[in-house]
Amino acid sequence: MDVFNDLGQGILALLTIQNILLLGAGVMMGMIVGVMPGLGPSAGLAILLPLTFTLDPTGAVVMLAAVYYGAMYGGTITSVLINTPGESATVASTFDGYPMAKQGRAGPALVMAAVASFVAGTIGALLISVAAPVTAKVAASFGPPELFLIVILGLLTLIVIVGKNRLLGALSALIGFGLATVGIDVGGGAQRYTFGSTELINGIDFIPVAIGLFGVGEVLHTLWRGGHLEKIGYFSISVRGRGFWPTKEDRRESRGPILRGSFLGFAVGTAPGAGATVASLMSYNLEKSIDKKPERFGKGAMAGLAGPEAANNAASAGAMVPLLTLGIPGSAATAVLIGGFLMWGLQPGPLLMEQNPEFAWGLIASMYLGNVMLLIINIFFIPVFASIARVPFRVLAPIILMICVVGTFTVNGSIIEVAIMLACGLLGFFMRRYGMSPAALVIALVLGPLGEETLRQTMLISDGSFGIFLERGTSVVLIAAMLFIVAVPLIAPRIRRGIQRTLAEVARRRAANRPGTEQQLPAPGTGSTVAGGEQSPVESSSGAPSDPPAEGQTPAGEPLPSSGERR
Amino acid sequence: MTSAVDESEAAAGTGRRLRRPSGRAIFLGIVLVIVAVYTDMAFDLEWRTQAGRIGPGYFPRIIGILGLVLTLALLVISLRAGAVDGEEELGDEETGEADLGRHPGTMLLVVTATAVLVALFTSLGAIVSCAIFLAATLFLLNRGHRVTNVVISLALPVLMYLLFQSFLNAGLPDGLLPRF
């Protein structure tokens, strides 16, 4: 029960007027950035990071956590109202959220999504409290070889599971590692790739890179594809309007999906690199597979929105476990978060909870309080945020670019860093355009120094032999995990087919209890269609099991309307 | 480009068809040059120090060599006939609808305006340079809304300055205007 005492003390320590105001401001600003087209949590955190520089470390961490959650939820609003996910983690929310809005049920959809986020965030905070100390204890026994392998494993997971083109993902990570080598060599003090510039001696700061890749890069990409010509349509929403609040049926229907999504999302989120996108899509598939009326999915089923929303938020909490205990960011947003912590002299890793418990528990507590604030602000300010989603991109684009320039300048007062930010913006545009992964680049940039240091220490221990990785039990386990991750693309279809068959069987049994529905459901194993002839998200058009719906696709495999198609 | 043509000719003899370089191939070609320069510089750094420890070139050489191998492999794949370009692989959601088209000119103008903003930021000051930037880009993108554009161009830089400089004391350049 010590952990809950620690959590309770962490929450009490944060309950000051200043921290509560910072929480509120963080959630508000995170949501404002989150609802802007094309800007996800990573861009939001990167752009808003400079705002925390004048705060004390606790206040800064509280605000960052609030921005993180706010931005995560901001994407849901655009998913539901204009069918445009702010980032990939909220793609699953469009499947049923947007049809609900079309039916005039945008209010219940957004309120239940907020409740799902709150419940999942709360469960996530409690699960972190249990999982983080245990993981930290295990990680404390790790030596440099294991930490090096963890760095590689995290990146590998990101590249294999999330990336569309794995080779391009790996190249993105290598570019990040390469950028991380700029500056003074930590081992011997030699200058590397500084070209005589004093500005580069301390290396390339990750903030200009993150703001450039995620902020400017996204804006340029949207401009290139004509986002400034779009005509936005939307569904108006009012707290006073009839039908704003979820019905009793909505609440009853959401209970199971929210709980299942919370635990599933947390578990998936703890795997470095897997993240919220995978969690939300898995939750959607799970809910659709076990629902008594799967034919409603894609047409406005509350379970199809509540489950993925919960999973998405719980995964954000789960990602905190490897971040706090191993120092490994599991996603682009947590990579920006870790960069912010490093700026405050806080080095996440196995010793953090031992040496800096007030920070670690303060962060976990602030995530919990951030959820409470998110729920309050969400429900009463949904119409306000919905109105921000209506501001056309042609007006937002110059404003975002200006914020990026000013925000980067305020970090160190360096115009060189602003130029680096702009260059990274162009790089980010081309990376997006040609299928590379800006997230892998930023994570590698943040992890590069840790990777190099641990590799150096490993080579010192082993006298330059790579055989050390095969001599230590934990290292061998980690290498086996890496081999498994690499083999995932080969074995995933078989595993998915097995899971699909099991879930279809469960659904069939449940449906069999309802008279007159059995004939509508697929037989186990065939699984290519669900009732109504709609294609299951986990099945390809050939009927063979395939990946979950790709980013930007509906459950039926159709492309999502882009921003240009908003009506 | 020349190398791509050479590769094309060489491959013709072996029966494997290469195609005209796509956008992705050109991009990867540029990345290849940068990675090659990086690797070359890595080989100028010590692999091991005189004391026998790992030198500053150890990690960069590993990165450089892996980067070269990967980029070359990707380049060859992207030059093969039938290989997808970035656009095709990303799908409609990522690349936009056909009716909105591609707008490299607009994007280039905005990039140029941002570069000018960066160049003038310290000399003109945060408020003036941002106001000029906003006015230029808004009148380019948001045509026909003059009043909105003027109001945003004047109000936002001042609000931004008040937030960062007056409220957060972040140290923005004053330039032509006095500090307040």
Show me where the domains of chain B are located. 4-90, 104-167
Work out the number of other CB atoms within 10 angstroms of the CB of residue A388: 17
Instruction: Determine, for residues B114 and A216 on separate chains, whether the beta-carbon distance falls below 8 Å.
Output: yes
SS3 assignment, position A131:
helix
C-alpha B14: how far from its chain's center? Answer: 37
The tokens describing A498, both together, are 């097995």
Rg of the Cα trace of chain B? 25
> Beta partners for A545?
A539
Determine contact, residues A550/A212, Cβ cutoff 8 Å. Answer: no
SS3 assignment, position A184:
strand
For the four alpha carbons of A59, A60, A63 and A64, in that order, the dihedral sign comes to negative
Residue A270: name the closest of A131, A89, A143 by CA.
A131
* Amino acid occupying residue A71: A
| Sequence-ordered list of residues with C-beta below 8 angstroms from that of A85, at least 6 positions apart, any chain | A75, A78, A79, A91, A93, A94, A560
SS3 assignment, position A197:
coil
The pLDDT of residue A126 is 85
Which residue in the set B49, B64, B103 is minimally distant from A223, CB to CB?
B103
Q: Which residue intervals of A389-472 are DSSP H helices?
A: 393-412, 415-433, 438-462, 468-471
HSE-CB of B172 using CA atoms within 13 angstroms: 36
The pLDDT of residue B31 is 95
Distance CA A396, CA A391 (A): 7
- B-facing residues of A in 427-446 (CB < 8 A) are 429-430, 432-435
The pLDDT of residue A39 is 66
The pLDDT of residue A91 is 77
SS3 assignment, position A230:
coil
B166 touches chain A (CB under 8 A): no
Instruction: Determine, for residues A224 and B107 on separate chains, whether the beta-carbon distance falls below 8 Å.
Output: yes
- B-facing residues of A in 376-395 (CB < 8 A) are 392, 394-395
CA angle A385, A550, A114 (to 5 degrees): 30
Higher pLDDT, A409 or B21: A409
| pLDDT value at B25 more than 80 | yes
ipTM here: 0.83
Which residue in the set A174, A193, A228 is minimally distant from B106, CB to CB?
A228
B125 touches chain A (CB under 8 A): no
The pLDDT of residue A516 is 52
The tokens describing A500, both together, are 């699909």
Instruction: Determine, for residues B117 and A405 on separate chains, whether the beta-carbon distance falls below 8 Å.
Output: yes
A416 touches chain B (CB under 8 A): no
B171: left (phi over 0), alpha (psi -120 to 50) or beta: left
d(CA B13, nearest CA chain A) in Å = 27
Distance CA A7, CA A15 (A): 13
d(CA A130, nearest CA chain B) in Å = 37
SS3 assignment, position A237:
coil
What angle do the packed helices B58-79 and A166-180 form, to 10 degrees?
A: 150
B79 touches chain A (CB under 8 A): no
The pLDDT of residue B43 is 93
| Sequence-ordered list of residues with C-beta below 8 angstroms from that of A36, at least 6 positions apart, any chain | A74, A86, A388, A391, A396, A400
- What residues in A contact B90, CB-CB < 8 Å? 164, 432-433, 435
For the four alpha carbons of A526, A530, A531 and A535, in that order, the dihedral sign comes to negative
HSE-CB of A92 using CA atoms within 13 angstroms: 32
Nearest CA in chain A to B168: A54
- What residues in B contact A59, CB-CB < 8 Å? none
Nearest CA in chain A to B32: A171
A252 touches chain B (CB under 8 A): no
Average pLDDT of chain B is 81
The pLDDT of residue B134 is 96
Distance CA A443, CA A431 (A): 15
- B-facing residues of A in 171-210 (CB < 8 A) are 171, 174-175, 177-178, 181, 185, 187-188, 190, 192-193
The pLDDT of residue B69 is 96
d(CA B11, nearest CA chain A) in Å = 22
Chain A / chain B CB contacts < 8 angstroms: 219
Each residue's pLDDT expressed in tens, for chain A with a length of 567 residues = 566 777 777 777 778 888 888 888 888 888 887 777 656 677 778 777 777 777 887 788 888 888 888 887 777 887 787 776 666 677 788 888 888 887 878 888 888 988 998 899 889 888 888 888 888 888 778 888 988 888 888 788 777 766 668 889 899 999 999 999 999 887 778 889 988 888 888 888 878 888 888 888 888 988 998 877 776 655 666 666 666 788 888 888 889 999 999 999 998 888 766 567 788 888 888 888 888 888 888 888 899 999 999 998 888 888 888 888 877 776 777 878 887 777 777 777 777 777 777 777 878 888 888 888 888 887 777 777 777 767 788 898 899 899 889 888 887 788 988 999 999 999 999 998 888 888 888 888 888 888 888 888 898 888 888 888 888 888 998 899 888 888 877 777 777 777 777 777 777 776 676 655 444 444 433 333 333 333 333 333 333 333 344 433 444 444 333 333 332
Which residue in the set B86, B96, B157 is minimally distant from A562, CB to CB?
B96
Identify the residue among A32, A182, A185, A204 best suited for mutation to test binding to B, counting B beta carbons within 10 A and taking the highest.
A185
- What residues in A contact B87, CB-CB < 8 Å? 433
d(CA A39, nearest CA chain B) in Å = 14
Per residue in B53-94, pLDDT (tens digit) is 888 999 999 999 999 999 999 999 888 866 666 555 544 444
HSE-CB of B90 using CA atoms within 13 angstroms: 22
- What residues in B contact A401, CB-CB < 8 Å? 110, 114, 117, 133, 137
Determine contact, residues A248/A456, Cβ cutoff 8 Å. Answer: no
